[in-house]
Amino acid sequence: MSPRTGLTAIGVLTTLSVAGCASGSGGGGSPGHTSEVNLKLPDLGATTFFGAVDGRTLLLAGLMVCLGGLVFGLVSYRALKQLPVHNSMREISELIYATCKTYLYQQGKFLLILFAFIGTVILVYFKFLAGLSWDRVAIVLLFAVIGMAGSYGVAWYGIRVNTFANSRTAFAALGGKPLPVHRIPMRSGMSIGMVLISTELMMMLIILLFLPADLAGACFIGFAIGESLGASALRIAGGIFTKIADIGSDLMKIVFKIKEDDARNPGVIADCVGDNAGDSVGPSADGFETYGVTGVALITFILLGVHDPAMQATLLVWIFTVRAVMLIASAASYLINDVLVTQRYRDAKRMDFEQPLTQLVWLTSITSIVLTYLSSYLMLGNLTGDADGMWWKLATIVSCGTLAGALIPELVKVFTSTSSKHVREVVKSSREGGPSLNILSGLVAGNFSAYWLGMAIVSLMAAAFGISQLGEGMEGLMIAPAVFAFGLVAFGFLGMGPVTIAVDSYGPVTDNAQSVYELSLIEEVDGIDEELERDFNIKPAWKAGKQMLEENDGAGNTFKATAKPVLIGTAVVGATTMIFSIVMALTSGLTQNMANLSLLHPPFLLGLISGGAVIYWFTGASIQAVTTGAYRAVEFIKANIKLDDGATRASEADSSKVVEICTQYAQKGMLNIFLGIFFATLAFAFVEPYFFIGYLISIAIFGLYQAIFMANAGGAWDNAKKIVEVDLHAKGTALHDATIVGDTVGDPYKDTSSVALNPVIKFTTLFGLLAVELAVSLSAQGSQLLVQVLAAAFFLASAYFVYRSFYGMRIRGGVGEAQGLPAEPLEPGPLSSPAPLTATPRSTNPDLTPKPQDDLAKAGEQR
């Protein structure tokens, strides 16, 4: 099914939906049914804080803090741009950026196609079922577009900053001192983090402050769905793109025994673009969406679960004030940490690149916790009655999440750091067992990490629950205070959002810096030593510079890994709060149909089982897209790489072709996966509302552990290779080959499947909120048969895209075609007579090694 065919299907189903509700009245559902359309913001100006400051004034001050955050980020951007860099390195980074722009333009067009699907459902629900006027529907759709554009825009900004920083970091290494090599990617990361969080917070404050109180709730939902759509698509496509390029480039090191980022390899530019498409675009959009969706979940809970409008206003102002305070805490912590690191390493020749990052994370966490308690006391300390003492309970619950933002990275490092025993176990296994034991040891690390991180998240959520029950608890103020506590844990997770984004963005810069250094061929420029000393006052430390870039890349790998469980943990904990909103709507405020949330209700149990199936399909489909794309990339690179004709770098046409292959398979894979998820969400929501609640709970739980396992197994394989390259200086050996194979397995694990589960879970939950409302409203109007017909139609559409995600993406041709064997699939023979493929010598297998007579192989061996 093409995008046009999909749009036609949506049009038909829209017509059916409109016809089905034409006889019903608007208003968002059955009598007594609570939905996001009915949500109305309280009067924020009716509450006062600090003696005489009303809530609106305080939130307006929050807007000023956001503007300050944007200025902070943009000043850092300008400072990065003005840092010294050699032209040979600048040209490479600008080539990477130009290619990234082409990729982003294509993704932008694709997002508009996908938005047609989402926008159709938003239009049908809010206009024909909720009964909003056309101008109000247009405003909701506008904020959905703004949300999507926000995810897209911050992703673009992240690429621009990172492609400035990569060449400046590579050039700084020539000075022979490690401090600038750390500070440049750190500054670029903070620039992205501050701009991202400030933009997100500003958009939400604008909705809160300047939209009509009875429209803001719907706009928050539309905004969150839009940004979730953008993040999901960019994460999925970026993850597929980057790993096709990475695997295609890495395997050439084994095939031709060439060095890392060899300029003659046409896959290297695509790999550099992929580092940004997957490790910069994806995380930026994901972080933007995660911060917003968590806020929307809390807002929805407060409006649905808190009885008193005055208390609603108090809690809303408190949440957004604390968010603004935490933004200040992140900026202050970064500046303080930068001073401390500069004093310690100003004259150092070596440094542990992980240490300053760890110090920053803990400093930010502690600062945020202190300011959370202080702000909560000043704002809520004078509350009496049922709210007496609530300030320290809420501050402590939020602090559980903030502590998790520092504690979880420490746990992740146990399984992914270059100093980790698990990672060193992977290396030791590889020494005698080759790729097989390398992969098995990585799987062990991933499985153990899922246990420990799962227990940590459960412990923190349990602590939050316990605090919510202390004394007389908070039952007098709200329904289900434990759910609110879980939402606040997710809120605390993201409190130090700028720093979490910064240490994650550190990785793609350090990775690209190595590539820029190699691709620039700066060491081969005539008179380069004299030029550097004359124009930049640098005596180049070639060997030390390359070593520092390698070591810094290892630190970047580790901290890329640490951000992933924080984001997925937030998705799961935040989804709990959003699922509660659906439950509230279905049970009329927990007063009806509560038995349907029991395992004794068969649809609920079946939903719990169905979620796991979808998670495992998603994992397989995303890896399938990487596998097929990488096959085509490797096929092209092997046929076109030039090592024996005196060429110093790959042609621009060949590099562009590899980028084209990566883009093609990224978009094909994303289309199948996204539409499979889209139609599955509609189908399961229409099957039965409580079936869908079970399904949402299931994908959150399965997704949490699948994502943690895959992310940390991939991180272990990645840094095992780094140990072999940096600590053991064993490039080009059989041990190195074994770790490369493990790393190529881990690539789609950590950077495609695992990371995309986060926005997919949130998108399904958010979009599912509308889908359930749509189904319930139709059923309430007597259109049960139409609902069931649509459920079947949506499921068939979903199954079609699930089918396409493998059978439309598989590698074409028979298994023996490349060796002159029959092109058709081979019939299985007796066990005693294995097919000839099993006896084929490795040296003649064209899928991994060039033919013996191939001059390219000889050139690789000579090198």
For tokens 């008193």, the residue is 308
Helix (H) or strand (E) run with residue 54 in it: strand 53-54
Residue 49 DSSP SS3: strand
67-93 burial, b at 16+ Cβ within 10 Å, e below that, comes to: ebbbebbeebbeebeebebbebbbebb
What pLDDT does residue 256 have? Answer: 87
Question: What is the structure's pLDDT at 665?
Answer: 95
Side chain identity at 645, as an amino acid letter?
A: D
pLDDT of residue 463: 94
Q: What residue type is 587 in one-letter code? A: T
Segment 90-132, tens digit of pLDDT = 999 999 999 999 899 999 999 999 999 999 989 988 888 888 8
Please tell me the predicted confidence (pLDDT) of residue 361: 95
Average predicted confidence (pLDDT) for the chain: 86
Q: Can you give the pTM of this predicted structure?
A: 0.87
CB atoms within 10 A of CB 763: 28
Residue among 745, 635, 758 at smallest CA distance from 243: 745
pLDDT for 863 equals 32
Q: Write down the pLDDT at residue 4.
A: 43
- Residue 306's beta-bridge partner residues? 478
CB 280 within 8 A of CB 164: no
Rounded CA separation 236/629 (Å):
14
Side-chain-facing half-sphere of 716: CA atoms under 13 Å = 33
- Cβ–Cβ under 8 Å, residues 617 and 672: no
Q: Rounded distance, CA 831 to CA 747, Å?
A: 34
What is the H or E stretch that residue 58 is in? helix 55-81
- Residue 169 is predicted with a pLDDT of 96
Q: What is the pLDDT of residues 596-625, one digit of tens each?
A: 999 999 999 999 999 999 999 999 999 999
Which residues in the chain land under pLDDT 50?
A: 1-33, 818-863
Question: H/E/C letters for each residue in 650-661?
Answer: CCHHHHHHHHHH
